[in-house]
Chain A
Amino acid sequence: MAVQIRVEVNGTTYEREVEPRLLLVHWLRDELGLTGTNVGCETSLCGACTVLVDGRAVKSCTQLAVQADGSSITTIEGLQQNGELHPLQQAFWDQHGLQCGYCTPGMILAAADLLAQNPRPSEAEIRAALKGNVCRCTGYHNIVKAVRQAAEQMGGG
């Protein structure tokens, strides 16, 4: 029994029929081809699949696509504005905030949620806000530096 949903993703509105049990991340990846959102676990514990749903960070591996009906989603593919990198993307690049890159989309979107809520986070606040996102490569050191750079650049800092 398919269910009709209407979701805005990265500024485009999609009306699609989906199976009720289809995970949001599989809808984004397999049906919309937005493979920038990665899957690292199936228990919402690694954060690789983090996307913004109505501006808030959500782990799309533990949300059903039908639950996203009527919402507006931003994935890593939709973060650039007018071809310019988002300050967080730029900062992750500048500060060597990624190595293998697999956790990076989720990490950047979790950080985007943080900076929307708290434009001037301390190091401790950054670390607390990112504790739902696992990075196995960087030891978080340069990720924290990247979020600080982005906060400064975005006018918080």
Chain B
Amino acid sequence: MGVIGSSIKRREDPALITGRGRYTDDLSLPGMLHAVIVRSPHAHARIVSIDAAAARAAEGVVAVYDGRDLVPGGEIKGVPTGWLLPDLKVPVHPLLAVDRVRYVGDGVAVVVAESRYAARDAADLVEVEYEPLPAVVDPAKATADGAPRIHDEAPENVAFDWQLGDREKTDAAFAAATKVARLKLRNNRLIPHAVEPRACLADYDPTSGELTLRMTSQNPHVHRLLMHLASMGLPEHKMRIIAPEVGGGFGSKIHHYPDEAITAWCAINLKRPVKWTATRSEANLTDAHGRDHATTAELALDDGGRILGLRVETYAAMGAYLSTFAASVPTYLYGTLLSGQYDIPAIHVHVYGVFTNTTPVDAYRGAGRPEATFVVERLMDAAAEVCGLDPAAIRRRNFVPPEKFPYPTQVALEYDSGNYEPALDKALELAGYDALREAQKAARDDPKKPLIGIGLSSYIEACGLAPSQVVGALGAQAGLWESAKIRVQPSGSVTVYTGSSAHGQGHHTTFAQIVADKLGIDPEQVEVVHGDTEKVQFGMGTYGSRSAAVGGSAIATATDKVVAKARKIAAHLLEAAEEDVVFDPAADGGPAFHVRGVPDKRQGWGDVVLQAYLAHNYPDDLEPGLEETSFYNPSNFVYPFGTHVAVVEIDRETGEVRLARYVAVDDCGNQINPMIVAGQVHGGIAQGVGQALWEQAVYDDSGQLVTGTLLDYAVPRAHNLPSFETDHTVTPCPHNPLGVKGIGEAGTIASPAAVVNAVVDALKPYGVNHLDMPITPEKVWRAIHLKGAL
């Protein structure tokens, strides 16, 4: 086995296990001030007045600014949205609210003081008088007649009205159907909860005009570009954004929020470094939330359980403003995935993006794809029930067969490669499916035993978010390629500069493996640099399970370019024609070039590298040095897939659901580091199980977030979960140089449907055909004891 494919221990870890990891809030600068943002306690209100006199007079306070102070010359600087749809209503999103607040947590003022404690004290002294306005929080109600208008730009609170697929063909499929499965689904609103809250440290040098912003970012270059274009207006080359260690993101650190721009603005204005760090309750109010769909979905089938058509209507909450990639999530990352693993001849999806008086909603781990998988996989179980088929059988019957790849769906995508049945088979075998069904029967007949439920989820994912021409045509305001620069030092060690930006994924390890494998050198000879706009060429960052497939491919491509140049040098040294010289990274005695068919006529890699810098004995037409860059722009997304099986036990008396087992068989193509792949799957599963059973951002009717702390918002904890049983199949990606697909979101995409399918399966004897997430003991108890009277 080569270095690629080995479970090498992570080189990130020695710093992190000894307390030497440096996260943003760990950093300090001389003369540093602390910012605290005063936030609206109302979901919707007119700002009558802001009186900051007492706050300004408080000990240690240096400045207090409100929304009007941040609009010198009257031009409101706001945070932009980065994905446009036709007729998208894009309201202005000022850095601090001017005249009106639109969700609990909307910033109204910023207090800057000599210490964290002084700033927090003074924030309470800022007197804001509000005139409360009626609020709306439910996406299904926001478009009703008489609903409060949130933005003048969107009179009916509709940000977009978007359709995909063929409506007529789908209607015809339903007309021809003999069976129909129909569900109303609520995809619960989630709060990301990266354990490190967002933070930033802004430092401005008035002599050079340079701003250095250290921040919790998944994509420093994208943040810099957005801040240049919209919120800050500083020249791009005068802004340096650094992502130090980042304590988890899950999407929440992709977006351009007002807070980092406010902090930077304070540092520029005060000419002193300013730090801002969110508290947890502040993070819960302001980190972009995820999901929040109200959906009606129908599947048309024939008597044999073959799918004829799929119809979906979704109201997707956008929250109070359009966050950075908000418009893409319930459209091109959702509607396009509704074919699942199935050969569906007709699909139509209609999505309304609606404003509500809530925290903005944007990409959260999976971003649209968990919602799509939930629709499809819940419908498959409902269809199995309607058709009298086993859930495994109906899936098998409708899988896209392996010979149909590349497979064009009815919803705009072309699946690159897939082989779905072996993954299902492996998952069923690992789970012991037949024995589980027997145990389930036995348990049903014994009232002393907990009910057993078995749930399947066969998911598809489009990830490696990338093909620039494609995403550009769909509304992205950015290209989604990735960059890599490979610098070979004269002594042969290598530095990799990647535009990908890790926050827990292990890039230092896996990216070094790619280069080490291709060059035949020790991974310890390879250093990986990322997360700093001054060190690294423009890059797109880490999200959408794109780092290995796009960032890794860029590294592989740049490494190939290095080898190609070195080959010219080797050919010169070997006095052979270039085309006759081959590179063997695994040669006896170390990596070397040799003349084809003559292994003894060789030049060691190290000698060739050194010659690139000496250039003494060197081709005339070649520049010295050995450093190559690749901007890798893939031709398609990648499409990982798999089948997960959840086994639940339900206490009939309390309604409590215990996740007894969880089996995951995933196919992400070739694996660079299987240990890291499995770790990504584990974490993803836990987040999806959290959505299914415990997590929900709850707003009351007045728009107060009543799950604003970890006391009310239940993230999964160690005792809630079993150890997971994971395995994989390997269907390489046919269109990238490593044959890899993404794995970061797979667990989160598959698991909500698997768990809900298992619970509904367990409750079949009680006539239950659906329960909304999170499936609390109360919901289950009511279903059992009140016969579904919810």
A interface, CB within 8 angstroms of B: 19, 21-22, 26, 29-30, 34-43, 45-46, 48, 75-77, 79-80, 85, 89, 92-94, 96, 98-105, 108, 123-124, 126-128, 130-145
Q: Which residues of B contact A76 (CB under 8 A)?
A: 17-19
Q: Which residue on chain B has the smallest CB distance to residue A146? A: B17
Q: Select the residue from B10, B19, B280, B720 with max chain A CB neighbours within 10 A.
A: B19
Q: Which residue on chain A has the smallest CB distance to residue B10? A: A96
Stretch at the interface among B179-187, B240-248, B510-518, B731-739: B240-248
Q: Select the residue from B250, B279, B280 with max chain A CB neighbours within 10 A.
A: B280
Q: Which residues of A contact B19 (CB under 8 A)?
A: 34-37, 75-77, 105
B interface, CB within 8 angstroms of A: 9-10, 12-23, 25-26, 28, 116-117, 193-197, 245-248, 250, 279-281, 503-506, 675-676, 678-679, 682-687, 709-711, 715-721, 723-724, 747
List 7 contacting pairs A-B, 8 Å CB cutoff, sorted by A: A35-B22, A42-B279, A80-B18, A102-B248, A105-B17, A137-B248, A141-B723
Q: Which residues of B contact A137 (CB under 8 A)?
A: 248, 504, 679, 683
**Which of B21, B195, B505, B686 lies in contact with A139, CB distance below 8 A?**
B686
Q: Which residues of B contact A19 (CB under 8 A)?
A: 117
**Which of B195, B280, B709 lies in contact with A102, CB distance below 8 A?**
B195
Complex Cα gap A30–B10 (Å): 29
Q: Given A38-B196, A136-B683, are A143 and B718 neighbors across the interface (CB < 8 Å)?
A: yes
A146 to chain B, nearest CB (A): 10
Contact B675 A35 (CB under 8 A): no
Contact A98 B16 (CB under 8 A): yes
A48 to chain B, nearest CB (A): 6
Q: Which residues of A contact B503 (CB under 8 A)?
A: 100
Q: Which residues of A contact B17 (CB under 8 A)?
A: 76, 85, 89, 92-93, 98, 101, 104-105, 108
Contact B18 A136 (CB under 8 A): no
Q: Which residues of A contact B686 (CB under 8 A)?
A: 136, 138-140
**Which of A30, A34, A96, A127 lies in contact with B675, CB distance below 8 A?**
A96
Q: Select the residue from B18, B709, B723 with max chain A CB neighbours within 10 A.
A: B18
Q: Which 6 A-B pairs have the closest CB atoms?
A: A36-B19, A102-B247, A101-B16, A100-B504, A139-B686, A41-B280
Overall SS of chain A's interface: loop
Given contacts A80-B18, A100-B196, A140-B682, 16 further A-B contacts (CB under 8 A): A26-B116, A36-B21, A41-B280, A41-B709, A45-B709, A89-B18, A100-B245, A100-B246, A102-B194, A102-B195, A134-B710, A135-B195, A135-B718, A139-B686, A139-B687, A144-B718
Q: Which residue on chain A has the smallest CB distance to residue B751? A: A139
A57 to chain B, nearest CB (A): 14
Contact B280 A101 (CB under 8 A): no
**Which of A30, A94, A139 lies in contact with B683, CB distance below 8 A?**
A139
Q: Which residues of A contact B716 (CB under 8 A)?
A: 139-140
A59 to chain B, nearest CB (A): 12
Q: Which residue on chain B has the smallest CB distance to residue A110? A: B718
Q: Given A41-B280, A100-B248, are A141 and B682 neighbors across the interface (CB < 8 Å)?
A: yes
Contact A36 B18 (CB under 8 A): yes
B54 to chain A, nearest CB (A): 20
Complex Cα gap A127–B723 (Å): 10
Contact A21 B247 (CB under 8 A): no
Q: Given A46-B195, A139-B682, A140-B686, are A93 and B248 neighbors across the interface (CB < 8 Å)?
A: no
Q: Which residues of A contact B9 (CB under 8 A)?
A: 93-94, 96
**Which of A36, A135, A140 lies in contact with B20, CB distance below 8 A?**
A36
Q: Which residue on chain A has the smallest CB distance to residue B713? A: A45
Complex Cα gap A123–B10 (Å): 24
Contact A38 B679 (CB under 8 A): no
**Which of A29, A40, A94, A142 lies in contact with B195, CB distance below 8 A?**
A40
Contact B16 A104 (CB under 8 A): yes
Q: Which residues of B contact A100 (CB under 8 A)?
A: 194-196, 245-248, 503-504
Q: Which residues of A contact B724 (CB under 8 A)?
A: 139, 141
Q: Which residue on chain B has the smallest CB distance to residue A80? A: B18
Complex Cα gap A137–B13 (Å): 14
Q: Given A29-B26, A94-B9, A108-B17, are A140 and B709 neighbors across the interface (CB < 8 Å)?
A: no
Complex Cα gap A131–B682 (Å): 17
**Which of B250, B505, B710 lies in contact with A41, CB distance below 8 A?**
B710
Complex Cα gap A19–B13 (Å): 35
**Which of B194, B280, B685 lies in contact with A136, CB distance below 8 A?**
B194
Q: Which residue on chain A has the smallest CB distance to residue B9? A: A93
Complex Cα gap A155–B715 (Å): 33
Q: Which residues of A contact B15 (CB under 8 A)?
A: 101
Q: Which residue on chain B has the smallest CB distance to residue A91? A: B17
Contact A101 B197 (CB under 8 A): no
Complex Cα gap A48–B194 (Å): 12
Complex Cα gap A83–B515 (Å): 31
Q: Given A99-B683, A131-B718, are A93 and B195 neighbors across the interface (CB < 8 Å)?
A: no
Q: Which residues of B contact A39 (CB under 8 A)?
A: 25, 197
Q: Given A77-B19, A136-B193, are A98 and B718 neighbors across the interface (CB < 8 Å)?
A: no
Q: Select the residue from A38, A77, A105 with max chain B CB neighbours within 10 A.
A: A38
Q: Which residue on chain A has the smallest CB distance to residue B13? A: A93
Q: Which residues of A contact B506 (CB under 8 A)?
A: 99
Q: Which residue on chain B has the smallest CB distance to residue A34? A: B19
Q: Which residues of B contact A127 (CB under 8 A)?
A: 718-719, 721
Q: Which residue on chain A has the smallest CB distance to residue B16? A: A101
Q: Which residues of A contact B747 (CB under 8 A)?
A: 139
Q: Given A40-B280, A142-B679, are A101 and B719 neighbors across the interface (CB < 8 Å)?
A: no
Contact B679 A96 (CB under 8 A): yes
A23 to chain B, nearest CB (A): 9
Contact A144 B723 (CB under 8 A): yes
**Which of B196, B504, B675, B684 lies in contact with A40, CB distance below 8 A?**
B196
Q: Which residues of B contact A93 (CB under 8 A)?
A: 9-10, 13-14, 17
Complex Cα gap A73–B149 (Å): 55
A44 to chain B, nearest CB (A): 9
Q: Which residue on chain B has the smallest CB distance to residue A125? A: B719
Q: Which residues of A contact B23 (CB under 8 A)?
A: 35, 38, 102
Contact A35 B280 (CB under 8 A): no
Q: Which residues of A contact B281 (CB under 8 A)?
A: 42
Q: Which residues of B contact A124 (CB under 8 A)?
A: 719
**Which of B117, B247, B676 lies in contact with A96, CB distance below 8 A?**
B676
Complex Cα gap A91–B15 (Å): 14
**Which of A30, A34, A38, A79 lies in contact with B247, CB distance below 8 A?**
A38
Q: Given A93-B9, A138-B679, A139-B724, are A45 and B710 neighbors across the interface (CB < 8 Å)?
A: yes
Complex Cα gap A64–B264 (Å): 32
Q: Which residues of A contact B26 (CB under 8 A)?
A: 29, 35
Complex Cα gap A123–B719 (Å): 9
Q: Which residues of A contact B194 (CB under 8 A)?
A: 100, 102, 136
Complex Cα gap A43–B708 (Å): 11
Q: Which residues of A contact B279 (CB under 8 A)?
A: 41-42
B196 to chain A, nearest CB (A): 4
Q: Which residue on chain B has the smallest CB distance to residue A45? A: B710
B24 to chain A, nearest CB (A): 11
Complex Cα gap A124–B71 (Å): 56
Contact B22 A126 (CB under 8 A): no
Q: Given A43-B709, A100-B504, are A138 and B683 neighbors across the interface (CB < 8 Å)?
A: yes
Q: Which residue on chain B has the smallest CB distance to residue A144? A: B723
Q: Select the residue from B279, B710, B718, B723 with max chain A CB neighbours within 10 A.
A: B718
Complex Cα gap A144–B721 (Å): 11
Contact A40 B718 (CB under 8 A): no
Contact B250 A136 (CB under 8 A): yes
Q: Which residue on chain B has the smallest CB distance to residue A103? A: B195
**Which of B22, B246, B679, B719 lies in contact with A128, CB distance below 8 A?**
B719
B742 to chain A, nearest CB (A): 16
Q: Which residues of A contact B10 (CB under 8 A)?
A: 93, 96
Q: Which residue on chain A has the smallest CB distance to residue B115? A: A30
Q: Given A35-B19, A45-B710, A99-B506, are A92 and B13 neighbors across the interface (CB < 8 Å)?
A: yes
Q: Which residues of B contact A101 (CB under 8 A)?
A: 12-13, 15-17, 21, 245, 247, 504
A127 to chain B, nearest CB (A): 4
